[in-house]
């Protein structure tokens, strides 16, 4: 009996004798199945390959954890060292003894909190190694592919994990899609961890909001307005993103103006702009 892992999305499944015939996460329209079909692996197989985790200090009491070479979706997780507990925000599939040793030296993990199902990955493996709870919004309960007594389904619009460390349900990308607000980060200006519930863009001056990123399905304007209003009640300067396109300054303002641009693009008829390249002199 084996815990098989989908190589496309990185989700680890409950024990079974043979690889699953399908990955429910990938079959959903917010993800995809590769043209070659479903492919499966295991943590034991990954340990025999050249995978390793890179742990990088992002600011005081904050570390990112990224698997190299990139695996599946390729997101990073974040370890927040709060005075009352260490919290792992989102999760990655690969876990090995070196990672466990390094994180144990940093105080271990006392809680895991998830933004949405695409990053559940091998969350139960992590929870068992560090003997800690996993916080998932109950609206996304159906997407848990490896059940565990470590999982605590929370309800409502927010839950405080520790003073100044609060999960907020925004919905959007998934019904239970959540972000994590950290009021006590370095400098005390606040940080928002969004996974890709709010997606930062390459120039870091804008963000976007989507129902499906790989299949380019937008969210309704009314939902984007609701999401922007929800984070509008929070104080933060920095946004930490699943793929480390982190916005270090004025992240609050970036989200609000991006929501306005998004809504205008959906609700107003825009004439296409045809602009010729400027001649060099």
Express each pLDDT in 251-264 by its tens digit. Answer: 999 999 999 999 99
Angle between helices 97-105 and 123-130 (to 10 degrees): 50
Which residues, including other chains, have CB under 8 Å from residue 32's CB and lie 6 or more apart?
8, 26, 214, 215
Return mean pLDDT, the chain: 95
| pLDDT score recorded for residue 206 | 98
Confidence of residue 276 (pLDDT cuts 50, 70, 90): low
| Tens-digit pLDDT profile for residues 152-165 | 999 999 999 999 99
Q: What percent of the chain has pLDDT above 90?
A: 93
Local confidence band at 268 (pLDDT 50, 70, 90 cut-offs): confident
The pLDDT value given to residue 281:
46
- State the pLDDT at residue 186: 86
C-alpha to C-alpha distance for 54 and 103, rounded to whole angstroms = 11
pLDDT at 242 > cutoff 90:
yes
Alpha-carbon dihedral angle through residues 6, 7, 11, 16, given to the nearest 10 degrees: 30
pTM value is: 0.94
Chain centroid to Cα 42, Å, comes to 22
The predicted model gives 141-162 an average pLDDT of 98
């Amino acid at each position: 009996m084996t815990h098989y892992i989908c190589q496309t999305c990185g989700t680890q499944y409950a024990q079974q004798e043979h690889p699953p015939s399908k990955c429910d996460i990938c079959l959903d329209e917010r993800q995809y199945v590769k043209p070659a079909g479903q492919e499966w692996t295991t943590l034991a197989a990954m340990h025999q390959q050249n995978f390793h985790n890179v742990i990088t200090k992002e600011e005081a009491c904050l570390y990112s954890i990224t698997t190299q070479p990139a695996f599946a979706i390729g997101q990073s997780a974040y370890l927040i060292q709060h005075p009352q507990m260490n919290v792992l925000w989102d999760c990655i599939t690969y876990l090995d003894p070196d990672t466990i040793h390094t994180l144990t030296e940093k105080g271990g993990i006392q809680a895991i909190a998830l933004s949405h199902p695409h990053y559940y990955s091998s969350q139960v493996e992590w929870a068992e190694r560090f003997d800690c709870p996993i916080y998932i919004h109950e609206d996304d309960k159906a997407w848990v592919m490896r059940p565990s007594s470590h999982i605590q389904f929370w309800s409502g619009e927010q839950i405080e994990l520790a003073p100044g460390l609060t999960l907020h349900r925004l919905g959007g990308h998934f019904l239970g899609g959540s972000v994590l607000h950290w009021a006590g980060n370095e400098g005390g200006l606040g940080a928002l961890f969004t996974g890709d519930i709010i997606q930062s863009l390459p120039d870091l001056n804008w963000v976007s909001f989507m129902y499906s990123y790989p299949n380019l399905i937008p969210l309704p304007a009314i939902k984007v307005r609701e999401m922007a209003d929800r984070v509008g009640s929070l104080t933060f300067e920095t946004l930490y993103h699943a793929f480390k396109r982190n916005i270090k300054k004025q992240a609050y303002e970036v989200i609000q103006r991006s929501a306005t641009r998004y809504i205008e693009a959906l609700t107003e008829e825009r004439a296409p702009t045809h602009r010729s390249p400027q001649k060099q002199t």
